[in-house]
Structure 1
Amino acid sequence: MPTFLLPSLRPLTVQRLRDSLLPRVLGPLVPGAVVRGPADARAPALYLTVDDGPDADGTPRWLDALARHDAAAVFFLSADRAERHPDLVHAITEAGHRVASHGDQHRSAWRMRPRTARRAFDRAERVLEEATGQPVRDVRPPYGRVTPGLVRWAAQGHRRIVLWDVMPGDFVASRPPAVLADEMVRLARPGSIVTLHDGPPARRAVAALDLALPRLRAAGWRFPLLPAA
């Protein structure tokens, strides 16, 4: 097995299998999906993504941290949260980041009928496009749970399913920022798409970012916006 498929040399845990190894192995098998962005070993790029916003406490922390590190991110927003916080949606785009769809109410597509799932993602797209005044073509189903119906829906609408190949687990309250930062640095490879989270995990995630990005930048890494589809 190629070494980049191994989440670490430590004993594998269920979380590492689910969040690091499986997306790397199975993500490329999803038609039209991406798990990595453009890669250039001479000037490696790490593509940051933030799920589950916008959030009144977390999103401003994210915007401040990204500005500190001259980094860009794609924010995968839930439609119901976007409707409650239109000012934060505007702040995200004004700061030069991109808004993408994380569905309507953070519901797993595996627990919905195919027609219900399509309607939920259609609604999310409408809400986010109205909020931003821009096309929303990147989609990340909650938990990365893709279905054949969503694959067809995405292809028919020229949308792109964006998964990841690095998820350090900032949503686990017991994982301190230093551990999260070490995980990001260890797993990063040119073109990696990193998934972090808004909302309650934002404090841990932003603290981890403050530790990891200076280390990576000192090694020549860049943190640009994931190119649009």
Structure 2
Amino acid sequence: MVSSRRVAAAAAAAPVAVAAWHILPAASWLPAVRALLLPTLDGRGSPDHVALTFDDGPDARSTPYFLRELDRLGVRATFFLQGAAVLRHRGLVRSMAAEGHELAVHCWEHKPPWLPRPVADREDLARAAAAVHSTGGARPRWYRPPYGVLTATRWRAARRAGLCPVLWTAWGRDWEPGADTGGVLAQLGGRLGGGATVLLHDSDRNSAPGSWRVTLSALPHLLARCRDAGWRVGPLAEHGLTEGG
């Protein structure tokens, strides 16, 4: 009887243990946690440099505007791409690479992270990395998960694909309904500084409709602020991150 009860208790506890193992690394979403324990994941790099990054592209409706504006401003950035969108817009992705931007991996498609999907996460991330590599011509180095939620299965899938996870130091919350240029800059200002990694979006695919226009309008102001402070701005490849961190 005792043995049966113990088996039943263990069987009941197993799903809880699996869920806890899966979701515990997602605590790294909290800026205070990763700033203290995981500076690479927080995007902390060279103190004289700011890494400029964009999520959710490529998007044929909006990404070309960002490419033109970044070229006008004389800046290159890192774009975290969705693999399925890469295959739909191969020409655009090739243009991004040809113009000197760094291509990284965001996901295959933007899916919620809460349920353990070890096989699906591994397969999705591997084919997203392959799509970026085959289209852009360079093997991607960086991975940022959708919603910034780095579960255990996503973390293991990234390492298996040879990718280094990195989140952000400062974000503009540019995806929100009602966001405006001043609000995006104010949100960034809280944690913006030398060594920071900035998160913005070049697509409204997973954001409020038209929000990318707000992001685009904020770019010259952000660049001016960084340059006035003496910080160089560029992609993660130039940011001095330790990939094994």
1:158 to partner: Cα distance: 3.2
Summarize the Cα distance change of 1:25–1:141 in structure 2 as closer, same or farther, 3 Å threshold.
Answer: same
Does residue 223 of the first structure (1) align with residue 233 of the second (2)?
Answer: yes
1:177 to partner: Cα distance: 0.7
1:124 to partner: Cα distance: 0.7
Structure 2 counterpart of 1:51, which letter? Answer: D
Q: What's the TM-score, normalizing by structure 2? A: 0.76
Aligned partner of 2:145 in structure 1 is: 141
Deviation per CA, 1:175-226, whole angstroms, max 9, x where unpaired? 2112212332342121111110122332111111122221221221210221
Structure 1 counterpart of 2:236, which letter? Answer: L
1:90 to partner: Cα distance: 0.8
**Correspondence for 1:183 among 178, 182, 187:** 187
Q: What secondary structure does 1:227 align onto?
A: helix
Stretches of structure 2 that go unaligned for 5 or more consecutive residues are 1-27, 205-210
Aligned partner of 1:17 in structure 2 is: none
**Correspondence for 2:113 among 90, 106, 109:** 109
Structure showing greater radius of gyration is 2
Aligned partner of 2:21 in structure 1 is: none
Distance 2:39 2:153 in 1: 13
Does residue 195 of the first structure (1) align with residue 202 of the second (2)?
Answer: no
CA contact (8 A) 1:46 1:224 kept: yes
Stretches of structure 1 that go unaligned for 5 or more consecutive residues are 1-20
**Correspondence for 1:58 among 52, 56, 62:** 62
CA contact (8 A) 2:125 2:158 kept: no
Q: What secondary structure does 1:35 align onto?
A: coil
Summarize the Cα distance change of 1:149–1:22 in structure 2 as closer, same or farther, 3 Å threshold.
Answer: closer
Summarize the Cα distance change of 1:79–1:188 in structure 2 as closer, same or farther, 3 Å threshold.
Answer: same
Aligned residues: 206
**Correspondence for 2:132 among 125, 128, 133:** 128
Aligned partner of 2:100 in structure 1 is: 96
Distance 1:98 1:92 in 2: 8
Deviates further, 145-154 or 172-181: 145-154
Summarize the Cα distance change of 1:183–1:55 in structure 2 as closer, same or farther, 3 Å threshold.
Answer: same
**Correspondence for 1:27 among 27, 34, 39:** 34
Query: Percent identity over the alignment?
Result: 31
Deviation per CA, 1:100-141, whole angstroms, max 9, x where unpaired? 111111113324522111111111111111111211121111
Deviation per CA, 1:45-84, whole angstroms, max 9, x where unpaired? 2111100000112111111221222222110000111111
Does residue 70 of the first structure (1) align with residue 77 of the second (2)?
Answer: no
Summarize the Cα distance change of 1:39–1:31 in structure 2 as closer, same or farther, 3 Å threshold.
Answer: closer
Distance 1:92 1:37 in 2: 25
Summarize the Cα distance change of 1:32–1:184 in structure 2 as closer, same or farther, 3 Å threshold.
Answer: closer
Aligned partner of 2:9 in structure 1 is: none
Distance 1:102 1:30 in 2: 23
